[in-house]
Amino acid sequence: MHAESEVRIPLVTGGKTVHDVTEDICSRVEEKPTKLWMMAMAVSLALLAVGAYAVYLLLWNGIGMWGLNKTVGWAWDITNFVWWVGIGHAGTLISAILLLFRQRWRMSINRAAEAMTIFAVICAALFPILHTGRPWLAFYWMFPLPNTFGSLWVNFNSPLLWDVFAISTYFSVSLVFWYIGLIPDFASIRDRATNKVSKAIYGALSFGWTGGAKTWSHYETVALVLAGLATPLVLSVHTIVSFDFATSVIPGWHTTIFPPYFVAGAIFSGFAMVLTLLLVTRKVYKLEDYITIEHIEMMNVIIIVTGSIVGIAYITEFFIAWYSQVEAEQYAFINRATGPYWWAYWSMMTCNVISPQLFWFKKIRTNLAATFVISIIVNIGMWFERFVIIVTSLHRDFLPSSWAMFYPTAVDIGTYVFSFGVFFTAFFLFAKFFPVINMAEVKSIIKATGQKK
């Protein structure tokens, strides 16, 4: 039951042996932190500190520190939440869906992409937790605790509650999936460690892994079943996130196209973030033989596909608003494109629909600088998409006398900066202390698809 596709370009270039893989990846963990890493870490810690001050102001004074008003009750908070969750989706797509499809090019990028997923979901979870105002009480509000704890049971009809379950399941299952993959690689680092401290730490992290055939056989089953579970899970997460909007009756939100449109958008922005991070990691860690132009091209192809789905979704929404003949719905869309937030709408359109189409040219999708720039443009566009959906649908509600604009405050910006601080601090720690490439998996394909010397 093993089908082989036609001969392809080698997935690992440079005539690497199995030992070279261990050497190349482990030495990154073993060497002293470089100056460049220190600088990057300093910048992320600075972001974290600035952001932490904003979060402190927010928690001390309350949600009034954000620029929300009576009409626009959700703005940057939920925009950032949806944006970060979406980014997370690429990691699971790479590690789970591409595993089920036996796409071997996933192997050298899945580790970093999954790490990104986990950190992005942490950043995402920050916003709903912070927007409760008093997070230390949120536990009572969000989890199904008995009535004797002070309030009624949670309402299982609410998509916001489904979100609590979806995001926490997604986070914990992704974490387990990632960790299972890390265990054999931690064992490699343990067996190479020369000092007692790192031997003890990586020894504990590796859970006493020895690599016996029986364990590998169980391990492969676990990875396959986890991939099978994570695939519908990742599709469910952004579907449920889209329900937060789709199950309401706000014109512009009340749309059945949301679930597939959100999932496609999530994968689109996630791949863009994977590219942004990996292009830098690849350069700094000299991983050109593992993350080849072929890998980058494949990811760019996924960006064209999902970007085009997103583009079609934008146009379909507009068409359906007209076709439905519902006046409020039509107004919501005309207002998006030509109202006071026209600049957000057209930024979204340019960044998400037009820029990825450039990848139809092979020259552009195999060009590192172009890919890097477009990957950032896509993420800016995807942030605007969520901003457009959330704020422009709310700011002109049913009663013209209550129409308002949303202006972010310094604390709004600071909270967003905080999430970047968390994300980059976590990612740089990962890149330094954890193996950034799944060694065991890459080793298993060296013989079949590695470039011969």
Partner 1 sequence: MSQGTNYVLGVYEDEDVLMDAIKQVREKGVKIEEVYSPFPVHGIEDALGYKRSWLSVAAFMFGITGTSLALTMQIGMMGVDWPMIIGGKDFVPIPSFIPVTFEMTVLLAAFGMVGTFFGVSNLKPWGRPRIYDIRITDDKHVMAIDLDKNDLKEAEIKSIVDGSGASEVNNKTFE
Q: Enumerate binding residues for partner 1 (CB under 8 A).
A: 2, 17-19, 22, 144, 147, 152-157, 159, 161-162, 165-166, 169, 172-173, 176-177, 180, 183-184, 187-188, 190-192, 204-205, 207-222, 224-226, 229-230, 232-233, 236, 240, 243, 440-441, 443-444, 447
The rounded distance, in Å, linking the Cα atoms of 450 and 263 is 34
Q: Are 321 and 329 in contact (CB under 8 A)?
A: yes
Cβ nearer to partner 1, comparing 444 with 449:
444
Q: Shortest Cβ distance from residue 215 to partner 1 (Å)? A: 5
Cβ nearer to partner 1, comparing 14 with 339:
14
Cβ nearer to partner 1, comparing 166 with 377:
166
Q: Which residues pair with 12 in a beta bridge?
A: 450
The rounded distance, in Å, linking the Cα atoms of 223 and 161 is 29
Reported as type and span, the H/E element at residue 241 is helix 213-246
Q: Shortest Cβ distance from residue 219 to partner 1 (Å)? A: 7
* Number of other residues whose CB lies within 10 A of the CB of residue 167: 20
Q: Shortest Cβ distance from residue 388 to partner 1 (Å)? A: 26
Q: Shortest Cβ distance from residue 178 to partner 1 (Å)? A: 12
Q: Which of 207, 197, 310 is nearest to 258 (CA)?
A: 310
Cβ nearer to partner 1, comparing 133 with 211:
211
The rounded distance, in Å, linking the Cα atoms of 47 and 425 is 9
Q: Are 341 and 391 in contact (CB under 8 A)?
A: yes
Q: Shortest Cβ distance from residue 208 to partner 1 (Å)? A: 3
User: In 66-147, where does DSSP find H-type helix?
Assistant: 76-92, 98-100, 110-131, 135-142
Q: Shortest Cβ distance from residue 314 to partner 1 (Å)? A: 26
Cβ nearer to partner 1, comparing 256 with 402:
256
The rounded distance, in Å, linking the Cα atoms of 233 and 245 is 19
Q: Are 428 and 45 in contact (CB under 8 A)?
A: no
Cβ nearer to partner 1, comparing 168 with 316:
168
